[in-house]
Amino acid sequence: MDGEESAPESAPEKVRHYHPGICVYCGKNPTESCQLKRCTQCQLVLYCSRQCQKKDWQTHKPLCQTHALQDGKNIFTSARERIHDRKGWHDFQNMLRMRASVKLGRSLEPFENEIFLFARVCEICGEAEPTKITDCSKCHSVFYCSEAHREKDAKRHAEWCYSYSLCMCCDLLEYRSGMNSIPFPIVVDAEYKPLPATIKEKLESMLGFLSTSHLFEKNMLITLMSERLTYPLSLLYVLQNISVGSCKQEISQVSELTVHIVGAESTKEMLGIIRWEYLVHTLPALKKLHAVFIGPEVGMMRCEDCQKKGRIIVYEMCKMLYHDYVSTSYYTKPDAIVAFNCGFHEFEGEKKDTWPKSLPKMAENRDTPVIFTSYNSTEARKDLEVLCQASEVEVLLPSQLNPYRSLRPYRDPAREENADIFFTNQYITCVRGMK
């Protein structure tokens, strides 16, 4: 089966993104022979040609007409005089998004939201006058009104420049080709091979099994594959370092594994659901995998090798909260519980916070590890604090940078922890109940 790809899955909706330094319609970068021109009516987007502007007009028209220049000034011009810090800018941008939604009488599309979140303004002072703004020539994602401000930000931006470029390439590729265009190798291990130190090392070892006719550069392919495999690999990373079940087995010896994926979303954990079959491929002793996706936003197939070997893979979807699921007749005791990018703390104290009832149920069994990931170290700390308040737990794996986090960068408009970019499953923690 080496080199073969998994069966096609239903294609998710393609999502268009906005990047302020490239043609909003075709994604072309500016060059010496092709200088991008702004929309003169709103100054919010750029085009590489009159043809692209015409093709995009029906899409851009509603936002353009509701955000036309006033006295020759765009919607960001006045902000520089009254906003002097990053939080102020973020609050101002969110206010603009809400106003735009009210003016249009509908929710904004993702790329429309990003027009406000990633504005074409000076990184240092917020200057928004188009004639004064130039971009970073490498990533076309960060802007300056002067060479002095460019130099002032040079060291900080150098840390994120490549990630901005990679994010842009991923966004454009997935919009043009679709999420399912990424090759996925079926490599069935005859014996258990412990995971290497990082997800990059693991994926590089898998690339040799892919067809050489793929259209992606190596780094791009590794990046996009990491976004698909970070979920099962993050789980496996923890399980290979702790014993599993009441029998305290090593994960390499487990023949049946039941995993509860709590707070699951169809667009994240369940996207490319066959990727969870990778656990069976890398654990030769595993004969049955039962993956239960539990969450209010939850909306199979096996490869030929698994079918021949009689391996059983059960995918179960439960559109409900976890504390409701444990009371059902079809509840099955898990060997592990995992919550990806959990946000246990996000709505703490608010009426819409549903975690307080679920967390005690998740951490009530000493034989069942609870694994959760967070976007950054601050969130990981807060998530653990909330869990500890809800139930008495023992920490098996303190919050740490996850070596099996996704390598696919996403822009963070809030710049939490002073980071321009974040990654899925960036921090990982594991606990178990004390009962």
* Residue ranges per structural domain of the chain: 37-173, 183-433
- What percent of the chain shows pLDDT beyond 90? 65
- What percent of the chain shows pLDDT beyond 70? 87
| Residue 297 CA neighbour count, 13 Å, CB half | 10
* Higher-confidence position of 3 and 385: 385
Architecture of domain 183-433: 3-Layer(aba) Sandwich (3.40)
* Higher-confidence position of 389 and 309: 389
pLDDT-based confidence at residue 89 (cuts at 50, 70, 90): confident
DSSP assignment, residue 11?
P
Contact 227, 234 (CB under 8 A): no
Question: Rounded to an integer, what distance in angstroms lies between the CA atom of residue 8 and that of residue 272?
Answer: 9
Residue 314 has pLDDT above 90, yes or no: no
DSSP string spanning 137-159?
TTTS--EESSHHHHHHHHHHHHT
* Higher-confidence position of 179 and 191: 191
SS3 347: coil
Residue 223 has pLDDT above 50, yes or no: yes
Burial 123-161 (b: 16+ CB within 10 A, else e): bbebbbbeeebebbeebbbbbbbeeebbeebeeebeebb
Distance of CA 241 to the CA centre of its chain: 25
- Tokens 């999502």 correspond to what residue? 15
pLDDT at res. 1: 28
Of 366, 365, 371, 363, the residue nearest 388 (C-alpha):
363
Of 422, 406, 375, the residue nearest 223 (C-alpha):
406
pLDDT at res. 180: 61
Contact 123, 143 (CB under 8 A): yes
pLDDT at res. 387: 97
Question: Rounded to an integer, what distance in angstroms lies between the CA atom of residue 110 and that of residue 121?
Answer: 20
Residue 167 has pLDDT above 90, yes or no: yes
